[in-house]
Structure 1
Amino acid sequence: MSDPSRVRLRWHRSSVRALTTMVITATSAILLCAVVYLLSGEVHRVDDALFEATAGLTTTSLGVLNPEELSSWLLIWRATTQWIGGAGTLLFALLVVPTFGGHRRLNQTAKGRGQRAMLFGQQSRMATRVILIYTGFTGAVMMAYGLAGMGITDAVTFGLTTSSTGGFANYQDSFTHFDSATIEWIAASAMCLAGTSLATLMWLIRGQVQILWRSSEIKLYGLLVLVSTMLLTIWTWQDTGGGLQTLRRAFFIATSSLSTTGFRVADWSGWDFAPQVLLLMLIGVGAMAGSAGGGFKVVRVIEILGIVRRELVVQLHPQAVVPVKVSGASVAEDSLTRVQNFQILWVLAAAVGVFGVTAFGEDLLTAVSGALSALATAGPGLGELAGFADATVLAAPARAVLMVLMFLGWLAIYPVVVVLGWGIGELQRLRLR
């Protein structure tokens, strides 16, 4: 019988190796994309190339380049970086997160190479299936845009940045450039689907709609889309002239925010405070787990609400045993602990980001909205980042802070924190020697 302490040590080392590989791969990808920008001859500053590469791979719509001044091939490359970043998000969640999450017990109890090979074989097949669904969804969005009247370059690039929840556009005024109700409906619907999990898309393709009704995550996601669309429609009815256009724009902005895509069709910084706060909340909540979208994630919100409910019940009934459930299944206590830890890290990262942006001369509204949006890998903000603004309105040091937040949001914070903690621990051990 194997020693449990040795099993834990082996698991710890393999986890650190996996997460270190993840962080190094992500960093290398950003550097490589930045080099491509510099070699293109159209981007001349290293910091601009790094920021655009980071925004691209982290699927954040906040860039520094004027897309209307770029060549067609660089626009396609720019959109491709977001598609690659979305694929990376999906694969990291599938192949790396189980190393210290869902498949931990399976890894510990698997005996011999045969069962471990079976485990990784299953992951490999699932990764292939994920990429196929992701690619198919992207192709469908491209075709829809093309049929709605977009040119080939626009259909390809917007298809890539919609399916990946990236949000890069080929025009400074984003989707208002097309002045097409059909294109906006297609984009809003595609963003809504992109913010769901790939499993949801697979169930829809198979016609297994009944499974969706058993998912508490998709119920909350759909409720957020519906309620926020209704509220935005009511709040902006008079300012936008009312009618179907107001409903369409409300649906577009709601799905763009919740899926953390970041496409724009209006400057919502001029609205009342209530819709502004609502949109920032949607950006913070973010998309469903298993999607390319960012944010805190809907499933974590459900678990946090379950923890709060349990604590309230226990305060009233100290002897009560109240499990936290998601989609009817009880969540393990170690998973709940990880969610609470992630919540602390997420809020702490946002707070440090706000401090960093304000420390370099930006106003509080810009800092709060910019830090939240960058950490959620969305893009739109308020203050200096309102409307159709890009990151050039910020000082270079403030942009560097947002780059770090984008990176943390893309990798879901944990891998970076674990690798940094392990590195600091190793340095301390070397000093003691």
Structure 2
Amino acid sequence: MNKRLILFQIGSILILEAGLMLPSLGVALLHSEQSTTAFFFSILITAGAGLLLKLFPPQDRRFGSREGLVITGLAWILASLFGALPFYLSAQIPSYIDALFETVSGFTTTGSTILANIEVLDQGLLFWRSFTHWIGGMGILVFLLAILPQNNSHSMHLMRSEAPGPEVSKFVPRLRDSAKILYQIYILLTLIMVGCLLFAGMPLFDSLCTAFGTAGTGGFGIWNDSIAHYDSVLIEQIIAVFMVIFGINFSLYFFVFTGKLKNAFKNEEFHWFLGIILAAILMIAVNIMPLFDGFWTSWRHSSFAVTSIISTSGFATVDFNLWPTFSKIVLCLLMMVGSCAGSTGGGMKIVRIGILFKSLTRDLKKFINPRIIRRVRFNGLSIDEHVVAGIQSYFVIYMLIILASILLISLNGFDLTTTITSVLTTFNNVGPGLEMVGPTGNFYDFSGFSKLIFCLNMLLGRLEIYPLLFCFTLSAQKSTKFQSTF
């Protein structure tokens, strides 16, 4: 394990994070806010820690998958610990654990909050809170790869560790160029959304914060009643469309921009994603129709809720806590399904659900006819058996973490629905759950221990378990010792 290289890379990430706090400092200065001092010292502390870690550069800058996993896990933990400083030093979130929860929720694009009154925060803090969604959406390390020269063959381990989905591919031969393309698409789509929201009548500050939350599929709002504050069908529909856009695999946009439309629109995961969205909207719209004035009003609220939950954005226009049980169960299932691999969304990912479903049907057919030989196919390609086995293992670990978390969170003594959905929404990086943690609720009343469990769940969900799990085991040292004996 190349420890000096790991610390050196973490130092670069902390310096980068300090730089990313500067726009929020600018907002605080512009409005002469109390949080200006908090941002100033947070930047100094974060940059100082980063420079300290870079004082002793490593002799050997090569690293493999183990170093990539450790760098990814530690980077997200330390970025969250330092990113919480502006909230804590400003005393606007006086508890550091609460500040950490809010920051982890931001970076992991979860959108769950401990704040009962969001509007009391300074605008600089509101900007930082939403900006963490935008930073975490595409990934801190992907941004680092885009702006700093890295060894192409080894830095792939960083991108593979952080990027969502069962596998990662490069758009172009050089990984740095692939990271640049990803961020160029990300920035362009964000700017287009800001322009659309401005056209719809939303103020500039609101448009930026909303676009950050949508692009990262996070869902932090700047008003207590979220998107319902604007009471605008046009704004709701713009946000709903962009939540779907950011829930789609970004490689499809690369194909579109390079003129390879056929490759984009024949993508099977894309078809599954749109099919699930349309089916869920229709089912919920019919189910909630008695609560609203006609089918089209129920369709409006159903479409926003479905796109918000499946993209794991978490914005809200109505309190779906008040909807029938059937609709709430559909939304809970969508929390677990999530969006596409290679998007900024969370959840299990459509591609994993599709491959699991196809492997299950394949195994049932083999049970009936043991002589049959059939490979699992997805996107027109035959999926290697080790990929299928890896996805099955991932699903088992995914369910075990959920069950263990539910057991630990139940120590708070809250009702069953609150306990289960609080775990589902944090682990799948969605934001709101049901009952106490519904669209109008928050996580403030949970114990400090539970909030730390939620933080761990949010990080595990965003990094898709393995990088963080690897950091908390001694498997790196053990495997090295084991290999050295042969």
TM-score in same-fold range (> 0.5): yes
Structure 1 vs Structure 2 CA RMSD? 2.6
In the alignment, which residue of structure 2 is the partner of 1:75? Answer: 126
User: Matches of 1:319 and 1:307 in 2, distance apart?
Assistant: 16
Amino acid at match of 2:360: V
Q: 1:52 corresponds to which letter in structure 2?
A: E
AA aligned to 2:466 is Y
Task: Tell whether 2:228 aligns with 1:176.
Answer: yes
> Pairwise mapping of residues 251-262 of structure 1 onto structure 2 (< 5 A)?
251-262=303-314
Match of 1:54 in 2: 104
Amino acid at match of 2:422: G
**Greater CA deviation, 419-428 or 279-288?**
419-428
1:425: how far off?
5.6
Contact 1:42 1:70 in 2 (8 A): yes
The offset of 1:268, in angstroms, is 1.4
- The equivalent of 2:390 in structure 1 is 338
Partner of 1:280: 332
Measure the CA separation in 1 of the matches of 2:342 and 2:135: 15
Change (3 A) 1:103 1:59: closer
SS at match of 1:129: helix
Counterpart-to-counterpart distance in 2, 1:419 and 1:397: 20
Distance 1:188 1:153, change over 3 A: same
Matched residues in 2 for 1:378 and 1:52: separation? 14
CA drift of 1:63 comes to 1.1
Cα displacement (A) at 1:199: 1.6
SS of 1:367 mapped into structure 2: helix
Give 2:473's aligned residue.
Answer: 421
Residue identity opposite 2:142 in structure 1: L
Q: Of 245, 258, 263, which residue of structure 1 is paired with 2:297? A: 245
**Residue number in structure 2 paired with 1:4:** none
Q: Quote the residue 1:23 is aligned against.
A: 73
Between the aligned partners of 2:86 and 2:216, the Cα distance in structure 1 is: 20
Higher mean C-alpha deviation, range 394-403 or range 79-88: 394-403
SS in 1 for 2:332: helix
- Compute the TM-score of the two structures, normalised by the length of structure 1: 0.88
Aligned to 1:5: none
Deviates more, 1:197-206 or 1:300-309: 197-206
Structure 1 unmatched runs, 5+: 1-12, 105-117
Letter of the 2:217 partner, please give it.
Answer: T
Amino acid at match of 2:231: D
State how far apart, in whole Å, the 2-side matches of 1:284 and 1:60 are: 13
Relative distance call for 1:398 and 1:41 in structure 2 (3 A) is closer
CA distance in 2: counterparts of 1:164 and 1:315, whole angstroms? 43
Distance 1:360 1:120, change over 3 A: farther
**Inter-CA distance 103–129: structure 2 relative to 1 (3 Å threshold):** closer
**2:431 pairs with 370, 373, 379, which one?**
379
Whole-Å separation in 1 of the counterparts to 2:168 and 2:305? 37
Q: Which amino acid aligns with 1:24?
A: L
Tell me, yes or no, if the aligned pair for 1:94 and 1:127 is still in contact at 8 Å.
Answer: no
* 2:93 corresponds to 1:43: yes
What does residue 419 of structure 2 align with?
367
Confirm whether residue 165 of structure 1 aligns to residue 227 of structure 2: no
Contact 1:16 1:419 in 2 (8 A): no
* Closer, same or farther: CA 103–272 of 1 in aligned 2, 3 Å: closer
2:84 is the alignment partner of 1:34: yes
Give the gaps of 5 or more residues in structure 2: 1-62, 144-154
Task: State the TM-score, normalized to the length of structure 2.
Answer: 0.79
CA contact (8 A) 2:432 2:439 kept: yes
2:158 alignment partner in structure 1: 96
User: For the Cα contact (< 8 Å) 2:161–2:467, is it kept in 1?
Assistant: no
